[in-house]
Amino acid sequence: MIEFKNVSKVYPNGTRGLTNIDLTIEEGEFVVIVGLSGAGKSTFLRSVNRLHEITEGEINVNNKSITKAKGKALYEIRRDIGMIFQNFNLVKRSSVMRNVLSGRVGYHSTLRMIFGLFPKHDKELALDALERVGLKDKAYVRADQLSGGQQQRVSIARALAQEAKVILADEPVASLDPLTTKQVMDDLAKINEELKITMIVNLHSVDLAKKYATRIIGLKEGKVVFDGSVSEATDKAFEQIYGKVDEENVRKRAAK
Ligand SMILES: Nc1ncnc2c1ncn2[C@@H]1O[C@H](COP(=O)(O)OP(=O)(O)OP(=O)(O)O)[C@@H](O)[C@H]1O
């Protein structure tokens, strides 16, 4: 469970990233955050694992305050939160297996990790994770030899190997073509359904949000302007909030 309690974020230059966010995301939800460019989607997502520090309020992850946590406690909360980025964030010259195993780093001593000594159990977890995203046969291929969509699925496998309870995905399909987008989103949906991992995903496309989300949160200028189920997220509701959005234009802007 992720709880935002009156959360605001003002960047050092005075820009407001988030304003008075108050909401709870329950275990197993598939939440998609939508909003125009600059609405605060990344700020929202990155506040959950404290990649960004909030300036007011508190965020609780499974009833523990990540806002107040320090040292080992912070480390342990973060271990439960996987992150998927638009640009995959893989070590491109390492094998797929090494990349997936890096999800296990948080469970071992630094010394052990310097020597890359992952126990057998970790390797089994990594192979299981790769199997789930259909890439077990690529385990010993270099990451940069895979297509963009496959690389994104490796990053999903890394979050699975981490045994994350929550996955944050920041524009995971923004640099992928429609077919690959579907494969990656289908993987996220399958993982959410089968493993009950909570998903919080930033997307530019309202159409995709409607296809995959169980709940849509709309942001505008750092505030929540819509929070509801897919059936409530009608074109009319969105038009009232955002004006008429030209999806094609948004996609083009995102690709730049
Ligand atoms: N490091 C920063 N310093 C100052 N302002 C920032 C910083 N990062 C983001 N902002 C500002 O905070 C607001 C929210 O940005 P954020 O990146 O969260 O929006 P977004 O909805 O994710 O946008 P996009 O869809 O373009 O990625 C914007 O006004 C942005 O310019």
Q: How far is the CA of 214 from the centre of ligand 1 (A)?
A: 25
Task: Report pLDDT for 236.
Answer: 85
In tens, the pLDDT along 171-188 reads 999 989 999 999 999 999
Using the 8-state DSSP alphabet, how is residue 63 labeled? T
What are the distances in angstroms from CA 149 to CA 35, 156, 172, 189? 24, 11, 10, 15
Sheet holding 2-10, edge to edge: 16-25, 2-10, 56-61, 64-65
Residue 110 has pLDDT above 70, yes or no: no
**Phi, psi (deg, nearest 5) at residue 65:** -75, 115
Residue 115 has pLDDT above 80, yes or no: no
Residue nearest to atom 18 of ligand 1 (CA): 40
Residue nearest to atom 17 of ligand 1 (CA): 42
Nearest atom in ligand 1 to 43's CA = 18
Domain boundaries, the chain: 90-164
Average pLDDT estimate for 66-80: 94
* Average model confidence (pLDDT) across the chain: 92
Task: Report pLDDT for 183.
Answer: 94
Residues in the chain: 256
- Facing residues of 116 across strands? none
